Structure formats: structure tokens, C-alpha cells
Amino acid sequence: MQQKKGYVSFVLHAHLPFIHHPESDDYLEESWLYEAISETYIPLLTNFQKLVDEGVGFRITMSMTPPLLSMLDNKLLQKKYIHYLEQLIELSEKELVRTASDARLNELSKYYYDRYSNDLHLFRDVYKCNLIEQFKHFQDLGVLEIITCGATHGYFPILYVNEKTIRAQIAVGVQTYERYFGRKPRGIWLPECGYVPEADKYLKEFGIDYIITESHGILYANPTPIYGTVAPIVSPEGVIAFGRDMESSRQVWSSINGYPGDFNYREWYRDIGYDVDYDYIKPYIAHNGVRVPTGIKYYRITGKTEFKDYYNLQWAKDSAEKHAGHFLDSRTAQINGLAPYTNNPPIVLCPYDAELYGHWWYEGPYWLYILFKKIYYDDCNFELITPSEYIDKYPDMQVCSPCRSSWGANGYSEVWLNQSNDYAHKHLHVAGDRMVELANLYPMAEGIKKEALNQCARELLLAQSSDWLFIITNGTMVDYAKKRIKDHIGRFTKLYNQIKEDNIDLAFLKDIEEKDCVFPDIDYRIYI
Amino acid sequence: MPRKTKEINEEKNVKKQSKLNEKISALIQNVLEPIEKVVDAEKPSKKSKTKSASTSSTKSTKTTKKATKKVLESEEKAEEKISKKTVTKNPEKEKSTTGKNKKEKATTKKVTKGKEKANKEDKDEKATIKKASKVTKSTNTKTTKSKTTSKSESTRTSTAKSKTNSTEVAAPTIVEYYDLPYKYNQTVVKVLYQNPTTLFVYWEISDSDIENYKRTYGENFFETTRPVLVVYNDTMNYHFEVDINDFANSWYFNIHDSKCDYRVELIRRPVFYNEKIKSDYVYISSSNKIESPNDRILFSTDEPYTVYFRNTKNNHQRKINLPKLLEQLNLKSKEFGFPIVRNVYDLYKYVYQIEDTGEFSVSFTNPSSGNPSSHSLSSRFI
């Protein structure tokens, strides 16, 4: 048995922008949540449960962002998710008949039928529609550490020209966490890992111990951290920063030889939503008849070719197991190499988007399950740990100021500030300033005015979501993202004027309160 | 009813319906075309319940109410394209251009209602009713589905038409529609960093300040002066200028030094002789301060050979001699027995197993934000 020389820490960042449209069923964007529940959140939960049932000791950290928590808690979205599953089950039932003549395909149809039926059973009957409670359960067991995030994933390096707005992002992030998990979060996932030193004092104010930064957040720190990213550092204000390990990131993410590109894994783009006869699939695609992915996918990546072979469940599992073994060996070698150069055991931090696991990389949750089992049973030189546990075990760390950084392309703000989306920043800044102005003008508001001020805070926070800027840069669903910025800034400004003129339109207020119902307990005074 | 007759009737109905739809859309156009003006959103919103104009993909137009919604919707999209076709009621007030960055991508977008309104910043929320240049963008819309409701709707629309032709804007189908304002009427300069070598700055001069400058320096102040950004590096104590132009309201420019404090001043320099301007520039406004991010490993210590460590449990901080700390690691050459790690640079070479630490800079292309809203991610795996 090898001696334990170091630690590996997995951090999965679970986030979706707040998308809630009680006014219409036509918003395709709502399905992002349903897809993520079926492909990522439920598979993660079931794999955690399997590990617990099998007595496998493991540790994992997840950030669950306030908009995601709000959506998971939303009764209407829960109902819509059940409807989404019912539709999929109906479709997969039809698929059983359609594919009856092809044994390989029929086996896959059966798999989807079982899988979605099981999802429905789990979600409705076992979890009682409450996924948050399920995640909380694993946190209470001590195997999962949940951390928080900025209220609506607002990107700090853009917002911090008005520091009160980042303070509010942190405050609401912490409050939402407490509401759902009944305790304070120890860590925060800075939206997009966007670090600015100006946020430190507010992070401390709300009791945050640690943050996650991109690798150069640590490497380019001042003074230079002597152990690089393999040990946390503490900022002069007292915020502890863990940096992403580059080697393990590359292994999973690499476009050339990253695990998710394996030829046996499921091909995301080949979906029966695009492939089968139009009249047959029509009831299951977008309401306006546009073909969209349904979630039933029969092909594997196969290779760099247009020709795609059928997905094979066993082959995919074999590849996941092979990759888990490779990851384990690589980390063992890495930690063997690192251990002599650090005073405390090195920590290799592996942060990923949670939705990479299952949604994009279909076999990801299974890979994690196998990896955790291997780490527990196999002869390896490291253990899994959460950042909190590491801090408690090794509280001694170098004092350095982390570097302003993000995990976006090229490491700084280019994704959220470029020629496609820079028009929005002025409006975000003005709305931020106006919110602070309102809070200071009416610090003791009551009744409808208080309601309106709280709604203003919600509208501002929703406008600040980094997702809209990201989507605009990315070039998909651009109209929707632009509309969301316009809507929230528009609603905010309208309310701002009404509050100042003392002429609040109650019908309007009620209408937008219903649509933008995020953070029911918000108190606008956070902007004072 | 015999099946055939039923079918024929249905067919008739469909034809009737499509004719009706054509009429309706013609009517809507007729109603909307001459209006072409901006109505303050607050007024109609008080009258009735607001409705969101959704853009999420195209929708089935079941009633004309929705059709109107669609008109406004496509108008919203079209508006950006036809930004130069500025719609104004009062041509005197029509002006204002925006430009963007070095490419001078001038975009014009301003809709003013009148002189008084122009000065009001509540221009930002408007229920815009105007001609949608390309009305039907509908793909696969189920127009034939329109049922009897459309009849009553069409009557309503035509009533609206007769009213609007003669008088003011009749409250159209109530739509919650917003556009971002062109100006907030504030004098401001804000600077943000895009990366260690590029800063982004945007600015605005309020109408009252514009008037003040004109009063002080003459009506042609803005024609006889040109705007300039003066970029101050306060850390290294130097400054340089960036020539901009009046077609722009934001700019990107390069800086040479990372990890430095910058601020930007907006000034105007006289182009022609103006006897009222005594100096060679007129100050307009100054920006926030910003620190450009660091872009390299500093290999620095707090003091020579010293690092600080803190116990995060009790906040006890202590000074540590770096060579001594490295000595404790006991890293000696196997062959000759002398220490192989004398400083942070040496340590990095071993920790990251590379010869030249400059290689780090190329590693920061990790993808980000792989949420399902991004469809780009999975392509990287193929």
C-alpha cells in the first residue's frame, strides 16, 4: 500500500441562468434546465448514492448557483420538467416500435425508455421533486461540500466599478445558500472565476473562507506563491485562493486528446430530433416546428467522419473505465513528482463545469463513479479532499495577492467584454448606480414601495448575469440573450422612474414579480 | 353534415381565414405605418396588463393579438439593422451618432419624441410603434389555425386604425417592449480592462454640459475641437494620448504595462483657432481608476529572500527566510550533493517539469462556461 502523499479535489460548478417564463411555453431555453436535470444532476445524485451504498469513501465539492437553486425550487418548472419527461417517455415508447426491426437500435430505444421512466420515478416519487434536498443530503453525510456563487453569476471584473453591486452579488449568493442549506457557505465559486482584489473585503464580510481561481490567478500572484497551484494562498484580506491544476484540466478538456472526444462516447449532435421523419417527430420538437434535439441519441462519436456508428453502452463504459484508470495513474505520477517540492502535501484542484458531466460528456458521471471507486480501492498515493478539509488540516499558507483573472478564453475579460457585447456594460453600470441611489433615498421603505425596490434589485441582478454576455459572444441564442438584457434593464428603469415619481404601477409590478420571481427574500437594503 | 361538405367548408374557412389574415396584416401595417413615433411605455402600461414580446424562436400566431406582437417583435430585431433610419418626429432634434472602437463602426440609434422629451432620460423605456421594415419573419407559423377570435380582433384593429388616422396613437395591443437608451444624460468616462494589454473606455457628455461648453466657448465648440483620451499610468508616472472621434462613444486601446494603475481623461483640443479657448485643451471628464491585470510570473518575494506565511486558523503571520524554507525540502543533486532549488524559479521548474517558465503563458486557453447555453463546447470534442 502506497503512502498517501497528496490530495485531489474535484470541484463541479453547477450553473444555469435564471430562465422562467410563466407567460409562454414557447421558450426553448427553458429546456436547458430539463436537459441538465436528466443528464447531469440526477446521474450525479444516483452515482453518489451508489458510492455511499457501496461504502466507498469519497469527497467532492459542488457550487450550486443561486439561479439554479431558485429554478430547482420553482414549482412551475418542476411541473414542466415532469411534462418534459412524460413527452420523452411517450416518444421512447414509440421508438420501441419504430426500431423493432433493428436489434441494436431497439436495445438503445429500450435503454432510453428505461432511463427516462426511471428519471420520472426518481424525480416525482423518490425525490418528491426536490433535488436540492437530495444534494443537501450528501452534504449532511459529509461526502459533498456545496459552495455558493454570485447571486446571478455577475462577472465581477465588469461590475466592480461600483463595488456595492459586487457586494450585493456576494450577499444574495450567501443568503440564498443559507435559505436552502441551513448554514453558511465556506467557499464561493467566483462567477467565471473572475477575481478582483476589491471583492476580498466583501467576501470576508459575508464569512467566505475560500475561492477558486484559474491557474494564473495563483501563478501571477504577487509575491509569487512558492508552491504554485499545488498549495492554496491567502490574500492580505484573508481570503484563501485555490488555483486550477493545469495538467488535469488539459486531460479532460483537451480538444485533441481530451477524454470526452473518445470514439466510443455518445455523439451529442446526432439526435432523433434531427434524424427521423418530420411528421413522426413533430409533436416532440419545438412548438413552431423547428427541429431541436430531443435527448434520444443513437450514435457514438465513431471518428472524424460523417458516418456514425450506433452507440454501444458497453463500449462506452469500457472507455470510461479506461479513462478513469488513466486519470488515476496520471495523478499518482503527478503527486509523486510534486510531493518532494512542497512542505505540506500538494493538492491538485480539478474544477469543471458540472454540466460537462452528463450533458456534454454523457459518460462523465459514470467516469467519476469509477474513478472514485478506483481511488478508494486501488493502490494510489493520494486521497480525495474538499478545499475546506484541506484548509482545516493545513491552515498555514503563504500570503499573496491573487492575480486579476478569469477562466474565460485567454484568461481575462475578453469573453464578457468585446465588440459584440460591450454596448451592455454602460447600462449595467448605470442601473447599478441607480439601485444604490434608490436604496439610499428610501432606506426605510414600506409596503408597495418596498416591494418595488426589492423587484428593482431582482431586475438589476438578473441583468448582470454573465450568461447573456457569454451567449452574445458565443453566437448562439443571441436574440434571447439581448432581449433578456433589454427586458431587465427596461423593467428596472421603468420601476426606478415610478419609484422616484411615487407613482408605482401595481399591475406592472405584479406582472414582473411573477415573471422574475428569483430571490423571494431579497432585501434591497444590501445596496446601501 | 356529410364528410365532403364538411371538408369543403373547412377549405373555405381556411381560405377565408388566410384572406382575413392578409387583411389583418395589411391593416396592422396601415395602422402602424403612419404612427412611427415613440410612446412612453408607462402610459399604456397603466391602462392594461403588460405582455412580454417574446423572441424565443418563432411562434404560432393564433390570434391577431399575437400577430401584432410578432410585428413588434420582428421590428425589434429589424431595428438594430436599420439603426441608421432614425425615426424622429422633430427633425431639428434628430442627431447623435455612436461609433465604436477603432474601426469607427458608427451606429446611429436615437428616437426622440420632441424637444422636451429629448432631455428626459426616460427615453429608455418606450413602447415603440413604428413600421417594421420586414414584417413577416415567421417561419412555419400556423396561420391557418386562427379561429373566430381573429374576427373580433380585426374589428378592433380597424377601429384603432380609424382613430389613429385622425388623432393620436390609440393604445395598440399592449406589449412590454424595451430598448436600451442611447444616452443617460450624464457626463461620465468609465474604463475597464479587457486583458493586460487592452483597456476599454466608454463616455458620455450630458446635454446640459454640451450647452455649457457651447455657452462658454461658442456655438461651434464641438466643431472647432476634437476629442482626445489622455491615458495616465499612475504607477509608472507617464501618460499618452489616444485620438478618438465624435462618431464614437467607446474605444479600445493598447497599453504597454501590465499591473499598473490607469485612469483616462476625456479632453478636447482645438483644431481651429478659437479665441475663447485659452489653453491647448479643454477638460471634459475623468474616469475611474483601474489596475491592469498582471500577465506573467513575477518571481518576486516580499523582501529579498523573505516570504510571509499565515496560519488561517489563528491569523498568526510570520516572516520566513526563503532559502531556509527551501533547505528544509532537502533537495540536493544526487551526483554532487549541492542544493538544486535555491529560489522560486528553480522550484517552479521542478513543480511544473518545464525548462522555461515562459511556457505557462500558452496554457491559459482553458475553455470556460460550458453550460448548456453554449453549444460550442461539444464541438471541441469532435
Structural contact between residues A66 and A151, judged by C-beta atoms closer than 8 angstroms: yes
Distance from CA of A55 to the nearest CA of B (A): 31
The neighbour count for residue B256, using CB atoms within 10 Å, is 11
Closest CA to B199 of B256, B264, B254: B254
Strand partners, A7: A347, A383
Strand partners, B127: B39
Closest CA to A293 of B378, B90, B258: B378
Residues B49, A507: C-beta atoms closer than 8 Å: yes
Per-residue pLDDT of chain B (382 residues; tens, 9 = 90+): 444 444 444 554 545 555 555 555 554 454 444 333 333 433 333 333 333 333 333 333 343 344 434 444 444 444 444 333 333 334 333 333 333 343 333 333 333 333 344 344 444 444 333 333 333 333 333 333 333 333 333 333 333 333 333 334 443 334 689 999 999 999 999 999 999 999 999 999 999 999 999 999 999 999 999 999 999 999 999 999 999 999 999 999 999 999 999 999 999 999 987 788 888 999 999 999 999 999 988 888 777 889 999 999 999 999 998 888 888 877 776 667 776 777 888 888 888 877 766 655 545 544 443 333 333 333 222 2
CA angle A120, A126, A127 (to 5 degrees): 90
Structural contact between residues A211 and A188, judged by C-beta atoms closer than 8 angstroms: yes
Contact of A288 with chain B, judged by CB distance below 8 Å, is answered with: yes
Contact of A23 with chain B, judged by CB distance below 8 Å, is answered with: yes
Pinpoint the residues of chain A covered by CATH 3.20.110.10: 6-73+130-256+318-410
Residues B57, A406: C-beta atoms closer than 8 Å: no
The x, y and z cell numbers of residue B254, run together, are 493598447
Structural contact between residues B341 and B325, judged by C-beta atoms closer than 8 angstroms: no
The x, y and z cell numbers of residue A52, run together, are 455511499
Residues B194, A234: C-beta atoms closer than 8 Å: no
Closest CA to A68 of A162, A142, A135: A135
Residues B366, A244: C-beta atoms closer than 8 Å: yes
Of A288, A340, A508, the CB nearest to B329: A340
Residues A26, B56: C-beta atoms closer than 8 Å: yes
Closest CA to A229 of A3, A4, A6: A6
Contact of A408 with chain B, judged by CB distance below 8 Å, is answered with: yes
Matching residue, cell 526563503: B322
CA distances from A212 to A218, A235, A407, B187, B203 (A): 10, 13, 10, 37, 34
Burial class (CB in 10 A: 0-12, 13-18, 19+), A141: exposed
Residue B175's pLDDT is: 64
Q: What is the rounded distance in angstroms from the CA atom of residue A361 to the CA atom of residue A14?
A: 15
Domain A6-73+130-256+318-410 class, CATH top level = alpha beta
The x, y and z cell numbers of residue B270, run together, are 482645438
The x, y and z cell numbers of residue B61, run together, are 400566431
H or E segment at A353?
Answer: strand A347-353
Residues A425, B363: C-beta atoms closer than 8 Å: no
3-state SS class at A192:
helix
Contact of A257 with chain B, judged by CB distance below 8 Å, is answered with: no
Q: What is the rounded distance in angstroms from the CA atom of residue B264 to the CA atom of residue A425?
A: 17
Distance from CA of B89 to the nearest CA of A (A): 23
Q: Among all residues of chain B, which has the CA nearest to that of A406?
A: B368
CA distances from B24 to B27, B54, B127, B309 (A): 5, 21, 21, 75
Structural contact between residues A213 and A190, judged by C-beta atoms closer than 8 angstroms: yes
CB pairs under 8 A between A and B: 325
Burial class (CB in 10 A: 0-12, 13-18, 19+), B215: exposed
**Higher per-residue pLDDT: B144 or A391:** A391
Burial class (CB in 10 A: 0-12, 13-18, 19+), A434: buried
Cα first-last separation, chain B: 59
Structural contact between residues A259 and B333, judged by C-beta atoms closer than 8 angstroms: no
Of A189-198, A247-256, B3-12, the one with minimum mean pLDDT is B3-12
In chain B, residues with a C-beta closer than 8 Å to the C-beta of A429 are: 190
Residues B45, A220: C-beta atoms closer than 8 Å: no
Residues B351, A227: C-beta atoms closer than 8 Å: yes
Residue type, A396: D
Of B204, B368, B371, the CB nearest to A409: B368
Residue A87's pLDDT is: 96
DSSP B188-241: EEEEEEEETTEEEEEEE--HHHHHHHHHHH-TTHHHHEEEEEEEEETTTTEEEE
Residues B298, A223: C-beta atoms closer than 8 Å: yes
Taking only residues 304 to 333 of chain A, the set having a beta carbon closer than 8 angstroms to any beta carbon of chain B reads 304
DSSP B85-101: S---S-GGG----B-BT
Residue A350's pLDDT is: 95
User: What mean pLDDT do residues A215-242 have?
Assistant: 95
Find which of A226, A262, A462 to mutate to test the B interface (most B CBs within 10 Å of its CB).
Answer: A226
Contact of A340 with chain B, judged by CB distance below 8 Å, is answered with: yes
The x, y and z cell numbers of residue A392, run together, are 482545516
Distance from CA of B267 to the nearest CA of A (A): 20
3-state SS class at A433:
helix
Find which of A149, A165, A253 to mutate to test the B interface (most B CBs within 10 Å of its CB).
Answer: A253
Contact of A157 with chain B, judged by CB distance below 8 Å, is answered with: yes
User: What mean pLDDT do residues A113-124 have?
Assistant: 98
Q: What is the rounded distance in angstroms from the CA atom of residue A216 to the CA atom of residue A219?
A: 4
Distance from CA of A100 to the nearest CA of B (A): 30
Of A342, A355, A397, the CB nearest to B310: A397
Q: Among all residues of chain A, which has the CA nearest to that of B291?
A: A404
Closest CA to A495 of A454, A527, A525: A454
Say how far residue B310 (Cα) sits from the centre of its chain.
43
Residues 6+ apart with CB under 8 A from A73: A130, A132, A180
Residue B25's pLDDT is: 53
User: What mean pLDDT do residues A470-492 have?
Assistant: 94
Q: What is the rounded distance in angstroms from the CA atom of residue A161 to the CA atom of residue A181?
A: 31
Pinpoint the residues of chain A covered by CATH 1.20.1430.10: 418-527
Residues A487, B59: C-beta atoms closer than 8 Å: no
3-state SS class at B217:
helix
Residues 6+ apart with CB under 8 A from B336: none
Taking only residues 475 to 494 of chain A, the set having a beta carbon closer than 8 angstroms to any beta carbon of chain B reads 475-477, 479-480, 483, 485-487, 489-491, 493-494
Contact of A75 with chain B, judged by CB distance below 8 Å, is answered with: no
Residue A255's pLDDT is: 65
ipTM: 0.94
DSSP A146-179: EEEE-TT-B-HHHHTTSHHHHHHHHHHHHHHHHH
Q: Among all residues of chain B, which has the CA nearest to that of A159?
A: B192
Structural contact between residues B297 and A224, judged by C-beta atoms closer than 8 angstroms: yes
Of A158, A161, A480, the CB nearest to B56: A480
Residues B298, A220: C-beta atoms closer than 8 Å: yes
Domain B188-291: homologous superfamily in CATH: Immunoglobulins (2.60.40.10)
Of B58, B204, B311, the CB nearest to A288: B58
Contact of A69 with chain B, judged by CB distance below 8 Å, is answered with: no
User: What mean pLDDT do residues A145-173 have?
Assistant: 97
pLDDT band for A305, please (50, 70, 90 cuts). confident
pLDDT digits (tens, 9 = 90+) for A121-143: 999 999 999 999 999 999 999 99
Domain A418-527: homologous superfamily in CATH: Families 57/38 glycoside transferase, middle domain (1.20.1430.10)
Residue A467's pLDDT is: 95
Residues B52, A24: C-beta atoms closer than 8 Å: yes
pLDDT digits (tens, 9 = 90+) for A33-51: 999 999 999 999 999 999 9
Q: Among all residues of chain A, which has the CA nearest to that of B345?
A: A226
Matching residue, cell 518576486: B300
Of A340, A412, A486, the CB nearest to B331: A340
Residue B100's pLDDT is: 39
Residues 6+ apart with CB under 8 A from B132: B32, B71, B72, B74, B75, B78
Distance from CA of B173 to the nearest CA of A (A): 15
Checking if the pLDDT of A522 tops 90, the result is yes
Cα first-last separation, chain A: 58
Residues B293, A429: C-beta atoms closer than 8 Å: no
DSSP B234-302: TTTTEEEEEE--TT-SEEEEE-S-SS-EEEEEEEEEESS--TT--SS-EEEEE---EEPPP-S-----S
DSSP letter assigned to residue B117: H
Of B180, B193, B297, the CB nearest to A224: B297
Give pTM, 2 decimals. Answer: 0.81
Residues B300, A222: C-beta atoms closer than 8 Å: yes
Structural contact between residues B206 and B187, judged by C-beta atoms closer than 8 angstroms: yes
